[in-house]
Amino acid sequence: MKYLNHITEAIGNTPLVKLNKVTEGIKATILAKVEYMNPGNSVKDRMAIKMIEDAEKAGILKPGGTIIEGTSGNTGMGLALAAVAKGYKCIFTLSDKQGQEKIDILKAMGADVIVCPTDVTPDDPQSYYSVAKRLNKEIPNSFYPNQYDNLSNTAAHYATTGPEIWDQSEGKITYFATGVGTGGTVSGISRYLKEQNPGLVTVGIDTYGSVFKKYKETGIFDEKEIYPYATEGIGEDILPKNVDFDLIDTFIKVADKDGAVMTRRLAREEGLFVGWSSGSAVHGALEYAREHLTENDTMVVLLPDHGTRYLAKIYNDNWMRSKGYID
């Protein structure tokens, strides 16, 4: 009989899918790494199970423990899957800009969810970072994975996602593009791919209101760059340890509207029912490709999550109109 011992064993080996319609006018081959095919419907499944297994090996996470994490939703889902498999409790903190779907999904997996204000500084006691850290100190036998600074995040993608992309593209990949949030995805994959092909170019997709692009270009952490933005899952107002700027050749910033519109195009024109940051990644990647890629190039764009997380926003016409994203 062929079966998995638990759903977490289904993580990984997601497909590469060629983009055909949204790439009009681009001669290069553009491939999407469709990460919503993971059981938790996002790329974060990979690093979530890695962070838990590494914590178990180190004796940090003990039987019957509680996992406490600040998340935009997808890491929480990955951690919740692993927690169900291994018998842990979960408490997640989210910012109030995250969609209700993400909150409901985490609760459906048995997690407790605490919603925190978005428009505060990271070190504010009310921020979702601070609340998670405080709960970790207060609750006995708890583990705070801290996906931003936990290098198991990067290690997961170096060990799995990077080799998958290299093998699936038969080593023909010349450009890699992905949204940058915690940094584990871009750093782990890029490190592996650049070891195989030192000439590979990594394009990081950032958003307006985030500090990454200016920091890469100037080395300056400019707080004036920080302001509220709607896109979920990419950009930061901090510099996570998982973001290795030496592995990212350039950044492209994508506006909330452009990412949202491309997200809907991917569903209607490519059959890829993806989340908001996937649209941002593709919009930025294609913007870069039109200027830099030739017919001999192959670019892989990572699509982080599934459209079910965004039904009340991106896929709701009234919400899109209220934001001025569609007529």
What parts of the chain have a pLDDT lower than 50?
Answer: none
Residue 250's domain spans which residues? 7-37+152-322
192 and 252 co-located in one domain? yes
Looking at the structure, tell me whether residues 180 and 302 fall in a common domain. Answer: yes
Instruction: Choose one of 143, 174, 209: the last residue of a domain.
Output: 143
User: Shortest CA distance to 43 belongs to which of 200, 146, 229, 179?
Assistant: 179
- CATH number for the domain harbouring residue 265: 3.40.50.1100
What pLDDT is attached to residue 98?
Answer: 87
> Do residues 246 and 271 both lie within one domain?
yes
Residues 170 and 309 in one domain: yes
Residues contacting 280, CB < 8 A, separation 6+: 179, 205, 207, 231, 234, 254, 258, 259, 262, 263
What backbone torsions phi and psi does residue 202 show, to the nearest 5 degrees? -105, 125
pLDDT score recorded for residue 118: 87
CB 46 within 8 A of CB 84: no
Q: Element (H or E) spanning 319, and its range?
A: helix 317-322
| 100 and 231 housed in the same domain | no
Q: Which residue has the tokens 């990081």?
A: 204
At 324 the three-state DSSP class reads: coil
Please give the sequence-ordered ranges of beta strands (E in DSSP) within 19-139, or none if there are none.
29-34, 66-70, 89-95, 112-116
pTM value is: 0.95
CB atoms < 10 A from the CB of 125, how many? 10
The predicted-structure confidence for 262-306, as pLDDT tens digits, reads as follows: 999 999 999 999 999 999 999 999 999 999 999 999 999 999 999
pLDDT of residue 119: 87
Last residue of a domain, one of 108, 143, 178: 143
Residue 236 included in any domain:
yes
| Selected catalytic residue, list 44, 50, 253, 313 | 44
Q: How many domains does the chain have?
A: 2
| Residue that terminates a domain, selected from 91, 124, 143 | 143
Q: Are the C-beta atoms of residues 242 and 47 closer than 8 Å to each other?
A: no
Q: Does residue 81 sit within a domain?
A: yes
Residue 2 lies in a domain: no
Q: Is residue 1 part of a domain?
A: no
Report DSSP letters for 200-242, one per residue: -EEEEEEETT-SHHHHHHHS---GGG-------SS--SS--TT
Q: Is 102 a catalytic residue?
A: no
Task: Summarize pLDDT for 154-201 with one digit per residue, the tens.
Answer: 999 999 999 999 999 999 999 999 999 999 999 999 999 999 999 999
- Answer yes or no: is 327 within a domain: no
